[in-house]
Structures are given as C-alpha cells and as structure tokens.
Chain A
Amino acid sequence: MTATTPGGWLLVLALTLPAGAMLLGFVAGGRHAQRIALGALAIWLAIALAVALQVQASGAPLAYVIGGWQPPLGMALRADGLAAAMLLTGAVVLLAVALFGQGAYDTPRGAAETRAAYAFWCFLPALAAALAAAFLGGDLFNLFVALEMLTFTALALACLDGKPSQFKSELRYLLFALIGSVLYLLGAGLLYGAYGTLDIALLAGRTRADAPTMVAGALMTAGLIAKMALFPLHFWLPPAHAGAPAAASALLSGLVVKGAFVLLLRLWFWVLPAPVVLGGGTVLAALGATAIVIGSVVALRQERLKLLVAYSTVAQMGYLFLMFPLLAAADADAASRAWLGGVLQAVSHALAKSAMFLAAGLIAVSLGHDRVTSLGGAARVMPITVIAFALGGLSLMGLPPSGGFTAKWLLLRASVETGQWWWSLVILTGGLLTGGYVYRIVAAALAPPAPGCVARAVPRPQELCVLALAVASMLLGVLPLYALGLVRVGAP
C-alpha cells in the first residue's frame, strides 16, 4: 500500500513543470523558448533541492499516488535518496549547460528563430522532464515511456549541429537505444504476466526465481546495458558522444546514460529475487571491470580530445557495475558502503564529465581544432577552462578531495571488506590509467603555444559555467558525511 506523503506534490511538480515548459516553448518559439527554458530550469533546480531536503529531513522516501488510484491499477511517483540525489544532479548540470548554451544558442531580440537554437531550448526542459520521469517513476511500464523520452531527446540534442558526419553515428545510436527499449519492454510484459503488476514497490520481495522472472530480468538487463554502453555493447557511444556539439555531449555523457543506470538499479535491487542478484552481479561487475581497463587504454591512445573524453565515459560507466556483487554481499555495512560509493560515482561522474566535455568544446572553439598533440597555449588563453578540465580529471582519477575519490574509496573498502579484493585491483588500475590520459591533456595544454598557433579568447561566462560544474564535483568530496546520508534513504 503506497500512501501519498507530505511533500509528495513536489514530485508531480518536478515532472510537470519541465514538461509544461517544453510544450509552451514549443508553441512560442524563438526568444520566448529560451526564456521559458532558463526560467523553468532555475525553478526545477529549486524543486529538486526541496525534494532532497524533504527526503533528508524525513529520512523516508516521498511518494505520490497519481489521481488517488492505488497501484496495482494506478501508478505512483516515488523519490528515495537515489532518486533525490540524481534529480538534484540533473538539475545542477542542466542549469549549468543552459547558461553555457546561451553563448552558442542565443536568439537576440528581434532576430528570426533558428533551427538549432529552437531545438536546443525546447529539448533542455524536455530532458529535464525525461529525467524526472526516469528517476521518480514507480512503474516499470511508465519507466519504458521515460526511456523513450530520454532517447528522443538525446538523439535530437546530438544532431543539433546538423553535420552530415554526425548522422551515421547518431543513427547507429538510435538503433541501439530502440532495441534496448524493446528488450526492456519485452521483459516488462513477462513480469506483468507473472505478477499482474509492474509497480516496483509491489513487485519488491514478491518475485520468485522462476523461468519468467529470470528471462525477464535477463532481457531487461540486456536492453539497459546496451543503453548504458557497457562493454561489449560500448562501441556506439564514443562517436555518438564525441561528434555532438559540446553542450549536448555534456548532457549525453553526464545525464542521459544515468537514466538507464537508475532503472537498472531499480530492477536489480528492488524487483529481481536475491539469488539472481547474487549470481548475476559478478557477471555485470566483470564486464564493468573490462570496460574500465579497455575504455581507459583506448582513451589513452586517442588523438582527438573529445573522443578521448568519450572513451573515458565508457571506462567510468564501468565503475558503476562494480557495486552489483558488493551489494549482494552478506556484510550489511560493506553493502551500504558499496551503495553509497556506486551512487556517488554516478553523481560525481555526471558533474565532472559534463565539465570536461564543455571544457573540451571551449578548447576546440578557441584553437579551431582539438588534436591532443597540439593543445599548446590553451592554458594561457583560457586558464579557467584548463583548470576546470583538470579538476574534473582529478575526480575521474579518484584523487582526494574529490567526489570521485569518496566514491572510489567506498567501493574499494567495500570490495576488501566483502573479500572480493580483486575489484580493488581494477579500481586502482583504472585510476592510474585515468591519471595517464588526464595528465596527457593537461601537460599538452600547459605547453607553450606552437609557432603560428592562433588561439581565440572564449567568453568568460561560459568558462565560469564549466568551472562551477568542476568545483561542484570536487565539493562532493568534502561534504560532511550526514549530507551523504541522503543517498542511503530507502536504499535496498
């Protein structure tokens, strides 16, 4: 029995406000769309903050029963610590990217509406609505619709430039994403056939380890990891993310892949029965470990800055899967640490990676190219951007005092405590390799400019947006521990 909690209406607002803003912007167009999007995203951040505070204060998940129709017939929105933390992360990144995007997608007063600007300002609130639906949704079919909202938005943002070279990798991405959604839906159908409901809270603890449930779990997992680009289904991601315009890459790598991640957590730790989680978690973690090593090594060898950052996403997503076998362990303390570490990794990667993609975009604009070997002089023209890139890199490496450090430290500790020490080797190796490719970029950017290199200055407000994201990913590491307790509210 789900009951609407005090403050549950905030969840409705978190979903309807960006959706309504998108629709209004769609109708009004041009300059209005831009103002509506900026206003809505600012309010959305306030709502996300209110949700997080409410969850933190009450120590229990928020819930809202839609239309008063109880599940299983009706549906509920729910916000536990995971949802609240991801919602807040999404709001911060989206607002920063929106402010950043004012540089490239501004529609001055009196100017005619242009294609790229209109699409950008409509799809920012659209992405906010899609993320809210994915994080707050309490029904597996409703989450399918949320996944498709994410797919459409991501695709349109990636094609924003209208560059012919981009269409092929985006089409490949779309095919992957659509097949992933369909496999997910297939599993959801089986679950409905077996249990007569798709409400996550009702399914929790009720599922049996029988054939329909196992097959449904396998199909849904396959679909979701295709969307998350887990090794060996990763090869669509780097060209699709690297080829998109910087603002879009930041959103794709930072946020869109996290939508599928939250669904995967819901599936594994709420819906599937414990024996399946115990066995399957190790397989997922092994794939994740492979992704960490291969993604980092390939990133190390990239010649183009944006492709390097995109391969780094493949590697960093791998860390998220290390929590699966640790959470299933018997040691409750260690499992709780793994949960916190995994979710923190998702949050800190979202902040750091979006900062790094935006920084890479600014560097490419300034130098007119993004070849790793000739970044010389970048640090002189735009020190703030290079610092932001380096700070993001520190978080990816897992050096203190960054959010990435806390996340990786918690995962490391949990892996030793549960006796699965081999994962800690992977974490350390990944950190070293990450250090390698981040150092490569920063060293190249600090080098003196090559003769004949003309670097343009970039707008200061854009640089500050990037820095804000990078600093946020650092601040995560110095947050007092009770603030991190948010993530533990309603944890499995």
Chain B
Amino acid sequence: MSGTDILALAACGLVAIGLYGVVAQAEVLRKIIAFNLLGAGVFLLFGVVARRGAAAGLAADPVPQAMVITGLVVAFAATALALVLTLRLHQITGAATVAEDPPSGAAPDPASEP
C-alpha cells in the first residue's frame, strides 16, 4: 500500500463522516459544516486521482487540480448561500432546523402573493 492509497482511504473516510453528519445531525448549521467535510472528501479524491496521474515531470495531473480549484470556489459560494438562508430563517422565525413544521404550518398560504 502506497502513501497515495492511504490518502485515498482518508478521502473515503471523510466522505463517510460528512455523509453521516449531513443525514444524522439536526441543526442546519451542523449540516452545512458536514456538507463541507463531505465536499472536502470529494475534492481529496480528485487530489488522489491527480497524484496517481503524475507524469511528464509534474508531481500531479494538472487537470483534476484545476477542477478542484473551480469546485472549491463553487462550494464556498454554495456554503455562503446556505448560511445566509439559515441566518434569515433564524432571524425571522427563530428556527435552527429544517424539520417539518407542525401540520398547521405545513401548507404555506400562497394567497398573498402577486
């Protein structure tokens, strides 16, 4: 087993940890953190793929590296958006989870819209 294989297993572990956190935690904020761990695991997998493709004197294949840089920026934007929505939800309703409301609030009243 090579060092890259060990890091590949770490990527798989990170994906599993992130996935568990996203599913099993209640607070949205913790879900968002877990989502980022999941994303980090996915990017790490790209890193392992890049490292395996080291050739022509380069330490790693540049194409997956470029994809990760693009992906990191997109993931940051997604996180920012999710956090703003979390904060606004909390400011307006005081909620910190996305659990179903009690039945009375389950059907949003669209009557007031344009």
Contact = CB atoms under 8 A, between A and B. Distances in A.
A440 interface: no
Nearest to A360: B110
Contact of B38 (A104, A141, A179): A179
B49 interface: yes
A174 B112 CA distance: 24
A173 B93 CA distance: 18
Given A167-B93, A171-B85, A182-B35, A370 B111 contact: yes
A192 B35 contact: no
A206 to B, nearest CB: 17
Interface in A167-213: 167-172, 174-175, 178-179, 181-182, 185-186, 189-190, 192-193, 196
Interface residues of B, number: 44
B77 interface: yes
Size class of the contact patch on chain A: 35 or more
A377 interface: no
A333 interface: no
A171 B111 contact: no
Given A168-B101, A171-B85, A178-B35, A145 B74 contact: yes
Given A104-B114, A304-B107, A192 B89 contact: no
A300 interface: no
A73 B78 CA distance: 27
A161 B107 CA distance: 16
A155 interface: yes
Contacts of B39: 182
A165 B109 contact: yes
Interface in B61-114: 63-64, 67, 70-71, 74, 77-78, 81-82, 85-86, 88-89, 92-93, 95, 98, 101, 105-114
Nearest to A367: B111
B40 to A, nearest CB: 10
B68 to A, nearest CB: 9
A306 interface: yes
Nearest to B77: A152
Nearest to B46: A189
A485 interface: no
Contacts of A480: none
Contacts of A165: 105, 108-109
Contact of A196 (B53, B105, B110): B53
A370 B111 CA distance: 6
A174 B80 CA distance: 12
Interface in A144-168: 144-145, 148, 151-152, 155, 159, 161, 163-168
Contacts of B77: 148, 152
A166 B70 CA distance: 31
- Nearest 7 pairs of A and B residues by beta carbon: A104-B114, A193-B49, A164-B92, A243-B108, A167-B89, A172-B98, A369-B111
Interface of B: 15, 22, 28, 31-32, 35, 38-39, 42, 45-46, 48-49, 52-53, 63-64, 67, 70-71, 74, 77-78, 81-82, 85-86, 88-89, 92-93, 95, 98, 101, 105-114
